[in-house]
Amino acid sequence: MIELRTPNEIEQMRPAGRFVAETLTALADAADVGVNLKDLDALAHELIRKRGAESCYIDYHPSFGAMPFGKVLCTSVNDAVLHGLPHDYRLKDGDLVSLDFAASVDGWVADSAVSVIVGAPRDEDARLIGTCERALVAGIAAARSGNRIGDISAAIGAVAHADGYSVNTDFGGHGVGRTMHGDPHVPNDGRAGRGYPLRPGLVIAIEPWFLQTTDRLVTDPDGWTLRSADGSRGAHVEHTIAITDAEPVVLTAR
């Protein structure tokens, strides 16, 4: 069911957006050569505890997950792009890591992701991240009352295709509110003018993610981490936004 939020409810969602944004900034700053993915998850745990927030991930067990996630942060490294389960791995020079974090504050959820390069960047990795970030900006710009979900999808896909990337539409953006994942689904490619009409009060996560040379995914033995089928690297960015009568409000702006 698609729910629309009142202006007062959107204001109540702002603290969750700020907390998620601040936490991702701290995690991105902490991601350095030699840092263990488990340490990044532990930092996210500590920030949740200090804020009195609640994790959206630790007990999360959708149909595609092998078991409850059990961590509070997704850490996807190099050829991993989504749902990366933190494990005993120390980041190396040149690693591309995507950090995806969602939390609930006072009963309202925000969800966001960022991709960073640890140490010396590869040109192709910086280009991939740049494409994801520009696609996110384009998707947000299309998230206006009177448009449709397809306008967001088409804007994201156009940026990807212009840079030579193919797009997987199995996983994408989604509704956000009292829970992390709700309707509507927001694919990262589509046809303008199609899909659910955007109305003031709709709160969604927009999350472009692309792989360098494929659009096919495989699942790790851990039952969660999604990797490129050909070993090429991936990047993922995301913001939670609210549709208004005017410009969209980016609740997780960093």
238 is in an annotated binding site: yes
Sequence spans of domains, the chain: 7-250
Question: Could you read off the pLDDT of 1-28 as tens digits, one per residue?
Answer: 899 999 999 999 999 999 999 999 999 9
CATH superfamily name and code, 7-250: Creatinase/methionine aminopeptidase superfamily (3.90.230.10)
DSSP per-residue letters across 8-51: HHHHHHHHHHHHHHHHHHHHHHH--TT-BHHHHHHHHHHHHHHH
83 annotated binding-site participant:
yes
The 10s digit of each residue's pLDDT in 130-143 is 999 999 999 999 99
The verdict on whether residue 61 carries a ligand-binding annotation is no
pTM of the model: 0.97
For 228-243, the pLDDT digits (tens) are 999 999 999 999 999 9
Q: What gap in Å lies between CA 121 and CA 129, rounded to an integer?
A: 11
The 10s digit of each residue's pLDDT in 27-61 is 999 999 999 999 999 999 999 999 999 999 999 99
Q: Is the pLDDT of residue 99 over 90?
A: yes
Does the annotation flag 151 for ligand binding? no
Percent of the chain scored above 90 by pLDDT?
98
Classify residue 107 by burial, with Cβ atoms within 10 Å: 0-12, 13-18, 19+: exposed
State the pLDDT at residue 216.
Answer: 98
Give the Cα separation of 189 and 169 in Å (integer).
Answer: 7
Calpha distance 1→71 (Å, rounded): 27
Contact 109, 82 (CB under 8 A): no
Report whether 185 belongs to an annotated binding site. no
Find out whether 3 is annotated in a ligand binding site.
Answer: no
Q: In angstroms, rounded to a whole number, what is the distance separating the alpha carbons of residues 151 and 143?
A: 8
Distance CA 132, CA 129 (A): 5
C-alpha distance from residue 235 to each of 52, 164, 185, 249 (Å): 30, 15, 20, 24
- The reply, when asked if residue 236 is annotated as ligand binding, is no
The pLDDT value recorded for residue 65 is 86
Which of helix, strand or coil describes residue 162? helix
- Model pLDDT for residues 178-201, shown as the tens digit of each residue: 999 999 999 999 999 999 999 999
